[in-house]
């Protein structure tokens, strides 16, 4: 018996409304009637224009930079919108509130790397919980231990199956002759799982400084000579590491072609320029973060966006029906 809400209602902030609309289309439900914005002094506000009393409510909001009305907003604006919406829904007597965060910002600040560092990912988890969220639904957290930062249930979806399906269709039987490359040692486990699904071999780009004040030396561990390779990572921010790894695969390893994929395309700063000047044939990204605003058409032509809407819609339906989400990945 479903006791947590009489109906599904989905609302969105301003960071990724197109994804929210696509999820609603998959579920066959209308997007909730609300307004989220900011006052002249920059303070955020949220207004809910329909009843949510007793409903199972899902708030879709990636905590990433976004554009609205020709103005760029920061990750902090996205986070505040999410918190204020959750508070408004809680005060409106929603039956249950799930924060749907396709891209969880601040995830890279998950531990202390030097004295007096904050653990910002834990702080953000506390804020979301304290605002009134009952659950969190997210995708490909930068560090899995972030799930433990929350005192409420967290479902971390995997973008892996989406990429597997895409490349299986794109390359077919040719997949077995290709190589998956991890751009650094920290991404090996993620890349290995992806490679096994496509029956590909695995290689690793190893970066190290031989001496202080010397440039990093790139080594390729594994055989990529004459092969077509897929660089696999969880996130592309300024694209420096990704483009350097692609260069090493070709110049050091002797690879024939390099493709790349990542769950979250932050693409900040010089990312588009670096991609345009790189030897990456195509960068496949999930639409957890909207496409970047910029004039670099060459870089944009190399980026392919794959939608996560069907997966999130299925996860939302399973959450509402109290069915296992883990079975999506079996």
Tokens describing residue 61: 């909001």
Exposure string over 259-272, b if 16+ CB within 10 A, otherwise e: bbbbbbbbbeeebb
Q: What SS3 class is residue 134? A: coil
The answer to whether the CB of 285 falls within 8 A of the CB of 265 is yes
Q: Is 63 exposed, middle or buried (0-12, 13-18, 19+ CB in 10 A)?
A: buried
The answer to whether the CB of 208 falls within 8 A of the CB of 217 is yes
273: phi then psi, degrees, rounded to nearest 5: -65, -40
Pairwise CA distance, residues 86 & 220, whole Å: 46
Kindly list the strands in the beta sheet with 201-208, ordered across the sheet, starting from the edge strand earlier in the chain. 217-221, 201-208, 179-182, 228-236, 257-265, 280-286, 303-306
**CB within 8 Å of 203: residues ≥ 6 apart:** 179, 180, 181, 182, 220, 221, 222, 223, 224, 229, 249, 253
Pairwise CA distance, residues 74 & 63, whole Å: 9
122 assigned to active site: no
**CB within 8 Å of 266: residues ≥ 6 apart:** 64, 65, 103, 235, 236, 237, 289
Tokens describing residue 103: 């891209």
Q: Max CA-CA distance within the chain?
A: 64
Nearest to 36 by CA among 68, 8, 7, 63: 68
Query: Active-site residue among 21, 207, 247, 257?
Result: 207
Active site residues: 207
């Amino acid at each position: 018996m479903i006791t947590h809400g009489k109906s599904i209602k989905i609302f969105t902030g301003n960071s990724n409304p197109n994804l929210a609309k696509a999820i609603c289309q998959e579920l066959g439900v209308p997007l909730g009637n609300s307004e989220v914005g900011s006052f002249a002094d920059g303070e955020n506000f949220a207004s809910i224009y329909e009843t949510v009393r007793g409903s199972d409510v899902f708030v879709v909001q990636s905590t990433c930079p976004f554009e609205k009305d020709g103005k760029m907003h920061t990750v902090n604006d996205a986070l505040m919108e999410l918190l204020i919406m959750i508070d408004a829904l809680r005060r409106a007597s929603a039956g249950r509130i799930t924060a749907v965060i396709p891209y969880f910002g601040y995830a890279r600040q998950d531990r202390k790397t030097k004295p007096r560092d904050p653990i910002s990912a834990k702080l953000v988890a506390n804020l979301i919980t304290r605002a009134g969220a009952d659950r969190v639904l997210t995708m490909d957290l930068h560090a899995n231990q972030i799930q433990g930062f929350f005192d409420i249930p967290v479902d971390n979806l995997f973008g892996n199956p989406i990429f597997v399906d895409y490349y299986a269709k794109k390359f077919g039987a040719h997949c077995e002759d290709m190589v998956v490359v991890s751009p650094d040692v920290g991404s090996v486990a993620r890349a290995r799982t992806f490679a096994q699904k496509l029956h590909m071999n695995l290689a690793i780009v190893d970066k190290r400084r031989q001496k202080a004040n010397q440039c990093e030396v790139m080594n390729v561990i594994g055989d990529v000579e004459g092969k077509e390779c897929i660089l696999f990572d969880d996130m592309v921010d300024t694209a420096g590491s990704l483009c350097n790894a692609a260069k090493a695969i070709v110049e050091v390893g002797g690879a024939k072609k390099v493709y790349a994929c990542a769950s979250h395309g932050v693409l900040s700063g010089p990312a588009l320029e670096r991609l345009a000047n790189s030897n990456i044939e195509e960068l496949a990204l999930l639409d957890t973060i909207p496409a970047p605003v910029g004039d670099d058409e060459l870089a944009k032509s190399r980026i392919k966006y794959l939608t996560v809407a069907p997966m999130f819609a299925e996860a939302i339906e399973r959450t509402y029906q109290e069915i296992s989400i883990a079975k999506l990945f079996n």
